Amino acid sequence: MKPNTQTAMQELIVQVRGAIPFNMPEAEICTGKCVGCPKKLLEFLDQELSDWEFRLQDEELPKLGDINRLAKTSKKVHKALTRNGLV
């Protein structure tokens, strides 16, 4: 049985928070040459995840497009962090 969209979004947020190093010190993030700004990407993604966490607490039901958009954004940030050697 497939989960509802609220459960799917919660699971996605848990997966992303587990895969992305949000707690990495700034000194480690901003070393050497950057491809994109990893610090800004981390801040942006953290804000997106926090926004959805609050919206889910308010019992808002995400649409499939919302889940897909967050997944795509997360993949792009993960890819950029990989290029910078942070993941």
The whole-number pLDDT of residue 57 equals: 96
Residue at token pair 């967050």? 70
Lowest mean pLDDT among 4-13, 24-33, 67-76: 24-33
Looking at the domain assignment, is residue 48 inside a domain? yes
Amino acid identity, position 49:
L
- The answer as to whether 29 is a domain residue is no
Residue 41 counted as domain residue? yes
Is residue 22 in some structural domain? no
The answer to whether residue 87 is domain-embedded is: yes
DSSP assignment, residue 48? H
Domain membership of residue 71 (yes or no) is yes
pLDDT tens column, 30-60? 776 777 788 899 999 999 999 999 999 999 9
The pLDDT of residue 27: 78
Q: Which residue, chain included where needed, has tokens 């459960």?
A: 7
Output the pLDDT for position 62: 96
Residue 64, in any domain of the structure: yes
Give a yes or no: residue 40 inside a domain.
Answer: yes
DSSP string, 54-77: HHHHTTPPPPHHHHHHHHHHHHHH
Number of domains in the chain: 1
Two tokens, residue 58: 């308010």
What is the spatial distance between Cα 63 and Cα 66, in angstroms, rounded to a whole number? 5
Expressed as residue numbers, the domain containing 83 is 36-87
Question: In the predicted model, what is the mean pLDDT of residues 3-20?
Answer: 94
